[in-house]
Amino acid sequence: MTLRRRELLVNGLALATGGAVLAAAAPGLAFPEPDVRRLGFNNLHTDETLDVAYWENGAYVPGALDAVNEVLRDFRTGEVHAISPHLLDLLVLLQGSLERPGRYEVISGYRSPRTNALLHTESAEVAVHSLHMEGKAIDMRLPDVGLASLRNAALGLGLGGVGYYPTSDFVHADVGRVRTWSGT
C-alpha cells in the first residue's frame, strides 16, 4: 500500500470514528468534554477570531471544519486548505492537559507550497516538506501559558512533532511522527 493511500485510509478512519484513533494513541488522555470538542483561534495576521464546536454528537461538523479551514488559511496567498481533524483534536487534548481554555494565537496554519518555498529560502528552519502544506501543523501560542509549559505539555501528549521557538515566541505542533526540535 502506498503512503498516500494509507494516509487517506487513516484520515478517513479518523473521521469515521470521531477521533478515537488519536485518543487511543495517547492512553490516559481524554477529551475535556465527552460530547463536544471546541476550539478558539485568533489569527494574528488577519485579526480574525473563531470560536467553534467542530465535533458534536459523535461526528465532525462539516460547516465548523470549513470555518476552521478559512481562519487557518495561508494569509499570504488567501489559499484555503483542509486542516486535519487530528490536529484539531490534538489542540483540544493540549488545552485539556493544561486546563487552559481560550483561543490559540495563530502564527501559521496552512501554508501553500509557494509560501512554504518562499519561507524556506528566507530561513533554513522552514522544512522543505513542511506539514503546514498538508494542513497537519500549526505554529501557535496560548495566552496565559508560558511557552516552555506549552511545549512541555505538547511533548507530554506524544502525538506528533513539537518545535520550540522561544525567540520567535511560538510552539509548533503537528500530527506527523513524534519528534522534537528547537529553533529561534
pLDDT of the residue at 29: 78
pTM: 0.85
pLDDT of the residue at 8: 43
Question: Of 96, 69, 100, which Cα lies nearest the Cα of 85?
Answer: 69
- DSSP-H helix ranges across the chain: 3-16, 20-25, 62-71, 85-98, 113-122, 147-157
**From first to last of its 184 residues, what are the pLDDT tens digits of the chain?**
433 443 444 444 444 444 555 555 555 678 988 899 999 999 999 999 999 999 999 999 999 999 999 999 999 999 999 999 999 999 999 999 999 888 999 999 999 999 999 998 998 788 888 999 999 999 999 999 999 999 999 999 999 999 999 999 999 999 999 999 999 8
Question: Which structural domains are found in the chain, ordered by start?
Answer: 3-182 (3.30.1380.10)
Cell numbers placing 169: 515566541
123: β partners: none
* 3-state percent breakdown (helix, strand, coil) of the chain, nearest 5: 40, 25, 40
Residues 6 or more apart from 110 whose CB is under 8 A from it?
69, 72, 73, 74, 79, 80, 81, 83, 132, 133, 135
pLDDT of the residue at 4: 43
Question: Of 128, 130, 129, 182, which Cα lies nearest the Cα of 155?
Answer: 182
pLDDT of the residue at 25: 54
pLDDT of the residue at 12: 47
pLDDT of the residue at 116: 92
pLDDT of the residue at 127: 87
